A and B are shown apart, each in its own frame.
Chain A
Amino acid sequence: MAEDFDELNAVELTADETALLEDLPELSEIGEARRKFLGQATALGLGALALNLLSPEQVFANLEIPADAVFAPVQVENGVKVAMKINGAEKSLNVDSRMTLLDALREKLNLTGSKKGCDHGQCGACTVIVDGRRVLSCLTLTASCEGKQVTTIEGLAKGDELHPMQTAFIKHDGFQCGYCTPGQICSAVALMNEAKNGEASYVTVDVRGKARSIQLSDDEIRERMSGNLCRCGAYPNIVDAIREVHTGKDVAQKWQFAGETETALFENSVSEDAKQ
C-alpha cells in the first residue's frame, strides 16, 4: 500500500501544470487533500474531504484570467434577486438571469437529488413540485420563481420516515440505476393529487364526466407518467409502486429475496449438475 501512494505522489507535472499550481495555491491544496485522503482513507470520513475541497466558484474567483481568454468564467450577469421556499425553508438567492431552477438547486443550494438528464425537457429527471404542481426544473428560470414553494426529492421524507411513494419504489424495485428516480417519485407524488382532483388525461374515456376523484388504471398511470423516461426500463415496477400508493392496497412484489427453500432448491440443482 505505502508504495502505491509514493507512486501517486511522484507523478510528474508538466510545465503548464506546475505553472498553474504556482499561480493557484488552492489547486495544490486540493491535490494534497486528495493524497491525504487516499493515504488515510480508512481514517477519514468523506465529510473531511469535502471540507478540504474548495467549490469551483471559490477556485475560479481567485483565478487571474487574461482579458482575451474565451473561456473566462463569468460572474453573475443580469443578477436577479429571488426569494422562494424550498422544502419549507425560506431561501434568498441572487442568480444570473440565465440560471435554471435545476442549476440553482444543484449548484447553489446543494440539493443534488434533482437530476440533469437531458436539460431540454425531454426526460423528466429534473421534475420537482412547484406550488403543488409537478414541473420541469430544467426549463424553469430561477428568476421566475419569486414567492413560489418548491419541493424536491429531498423534501418528501419526514425526518427518517420516507414518503410512502419512496417506500413503494424501494419495495417494488422501481429503478435500476436510480438516475431518473427522484424525478419519477416527484412526478408520481404530484400525480396522486391530480387523480384526487379528478383531472383527465388523453386516455380518459370520457373527459366530459364531472371532475371527481378517479381510480387510475395502469394505462392511465402509464399515460400520466409518460414525461418521465427510464432508460433502464423499470416501468412495470414503477407502475406497481404507483398503483400501491394510489390504491392504498398492497401490490404483490414481483421479486423476493431467496429463502431457505429457494436456496436449497438452487444448491440441489447445482449438485445435480455436478453429477452429470
Chain B
Amino acid sequence: MRPFKYTRASDAMNAVSTVSATTSAKFLAGGTNLLDLMKEDVERPTELVDVTKLNFAQIKAANGGVSIGATAKNTDTANHPLIRQNYPLLTQAILASASGQIRNMATNGGNLNQRTRCSYFYDVAMPCNKRTPGTGCGALDGVNRNHAIFGWSEKCVATYPGDMAVALAALEATVKVQTKDGTERTIAFADYHRLPGDAPEKDNNLNHGELITSIELPKNNFADKSYYLKVRERASYAFALVSVAAALETKGNVIENVRLALGGVAHKPWRALEAEKFLKGKAATEVNFKLAAEMEMKTAKPLEYNKFKVELGRRAIARALMQAMNGGKA
C-alpha cells in the first residue's frame, strides 16, 4: 500500500474542504472496499479523511419517511425497527450483501460508493477505462460472464456490485450531499449512479469532495408486498449474478403501484421501467409477472459469456414478484 496521510474529521465542513483541496484525497468510512482497492494498488489516495466520527449515524423518522445517516452501519440500518417495519425490502437487500463482519463495518454512504468488482478493473496489469481512462476495456472481448447486459458502452461493461442500492433505487430514495461551498443538495437515486458512456471512471454524479450525509426514504405502501431476491454462485457471501428488488401495492388483485430494480446487470441499479409500465393496472398473476419480465429482458444486450443472465433475469423478476405477493417471506 502506498503511503497516505490519515486524519480524523471532527467537523463535516472541515472534512469536505480538506478532501476538496486535494484531488488525490478521499473520505474513509468503513474502508471495506477502499482498503482492499488500496492493497491492490487500484486506489492510490495520498490522504484519507476518516469521517466515521462525524455525527451522521442517526436513523430517524423524517418527512413521513425515514432518514438513514451516511455513517450508520449497514447492520444497524438493516435491523433498525423503522426499517424492518416500513422498508423490509431494504433490510433484505442489506442482509443479502457481503458477510456479517463486513456489514458491521460498512456504512450506508460508503456502500453507495463501492466500486465494481470487474476483474479487469481490479488487476492493474489489465487495460481498464474505469481505472485508467484511455487504456481500453479488457472485459468487452474478455471474460465477461459477470458483466453488464443493459446500458453498457464500448468503453466499459462493468456492473455496479451492491445490493443495498438496488433496493434504494426501487424505493426511489434521495441522497443528501454536503457540497464544498457549505450548502446541501439532494440527488434523486436514479440520478446518483451513472451509466458508463464515455466516462466510465465516474461511477456516480458526486463531485470530488462532496460528502453524503444521509439517504432519505420517502413514505410508501410497499411494506406488505416486497422482496429482494439475489441469485449468486453460492448460497451466501457472493456478489449477485442477477438480483431483483420487487415491490408491489395492490388493491384487490390489481396492481396499483409497482417498482422493480435489478442488480448485477448494469453499471448502475437498473430500474425495470418497461416491466413496471406493463404491470401497472394489471392483475397480480404469475402470467402477467412472466410477461412483464419477458418485456424487460427483451431489451437486454448480452455479451459473449453472460447470455445466461437474460433467462436468469427473466425468471428472477417473475419469482421476486411472486415472493413479494407472498408477503416477502424468505
Contacts and interface: CB of A to CB of B under 8 A. Distances in A.
Nearest to B105: A135
Contacts of A211: 79, 81, 84
A202 B96 contact: yes
A227 interface: yes
Interface in B76-96: 78-79, 81, 84-85, 88, 91-92, 95-96
A194 to B, nearest CB: 7
A187 interface: yes
Nearest to A141: B31
Contacts of B5: 78, 97
B48 interface: yes
Interface stretch (A18-26, A117-125, A164-172, A251-259): A117-125
A134 B32 CA distance: 13
B330 A204 contact: yes
Contact of A203 (B1, B32, B330): B330
Contacts of A201: 95
B91 A227 contact: no
Interface stretch (A29-37, A39-47, A48-56, A218-226): A218-226
B207 interface: no
Contact of B100 (A146, A197, A203, A227): A227
Among the interface residues A127, A139, A206, A207, which one has the most CB atoms of the partner chain B within 10 A?
A207
A202 B95 contact: yes
Given A121-B32, A202-B92, A134 B50 contact: no
B242 to A, nearest CB: 16
A11 to B, nearest CB: 37
A141 B95 contact: no
Given A139-B32, A200-B78, A228-B99, 18 more contacts: A97-B3, A97-B4, A121-B32, A133-B104, A134-B101, A143-B6, A146-B8, A191-B100, A201-B95, A202-B236, A204-B95, A205-B330, A207-B84, A208-B88, A211-B81, A211-B84, A222-B235, A227-B102
A98 interface: yes
A141 B223 contact: no
A189 to B, nearest CB: 12
A94 interface: no
B36 interface: yes
B75 A223 contact: no
Among the interface residues B8, B104, B235, which one has the most CB atoms of the partner chain A within 10 A?
B104
A136 B3 contact: no
B234 to A, nearest CB: 8
Contact of B52 (A96, A124, A144, A199): A144
22 contacts: A78-B6, A98-B3, A120-B40, A124-B101, A136-B102, A139-B32, A139-B35, A141-B6, A143-B6, A144-B50, A197-B79, A200-B84, A207-B91, A207-B92, A208-B85, A208-B88, A208-B328, A224-B100, A225-B100, A226-B236, A227-B100, A227-B102
B237 A227 contact: yes
Interface residues of A, number: 48
B39 interface: yes
A7 interface: no
B88 A207 contact: yes
B84 A226 contact: no
A139 B48 CA distance: 14
A199 B237 contact: no
Interface of B: 1, 3-6, 8, 28, 31-32, 35-36, 39-40, 48, 50, 52, 75, 78-79, 81, 84-85, 88, 91-92, 95-96, 98-102, 104-105, 223, 230, 235-237, 327-330
A140 interface: yes
Contact of A80 (B6, B52, B88, B230): B6
Interface in A206-236: 206-211, 222-228
A276 B19 CA distance: 82
B236 A120 contact: no
Interface of A: 77-78, 80, 96-98, 100, 119-121, 124, 127, 133-136, 139-141, 143-144, 146, 187, 190-191, 194, 197-211, 222-228
A264 B223 CA distance: 64
A124 B104 CA distance: 13
A44 B100 CA distance: 45
B32 A136 contact: yes
Given A207-B92, A226-B235, A139 B100 contact: no
A133 B106 CA distance: 12
A222 B235 CA distance: 10
A98 B104 contact: no
Contact of B236 (A78, A194, A222): A222
B31 A144 contact: yes
A134 B102 CA distance: 9
Given A136-B102, A194-B100, A211-B84, A226 B237 contact: yes
Contacts of B101: 124, 127, 134-136, 187, 227
A146 B31 CA distance: 15
Ranked nearest first, the 7 interchain pairs of A and B with the lowest CB-CB distance are A227-B99, A226-B236, A97-B6, A226-B237, A133-B104, A202-B95, A77-B3
Among the interface residues B50, B237, B329, which one has the most CB atoms of the partner chain A within 10 A?
B237
A8 B35 CA distance: 45
A191 B104 CA distance: 12
Nearest to B32: A139
Nearest to B8: A146
A202 B100 contact: no
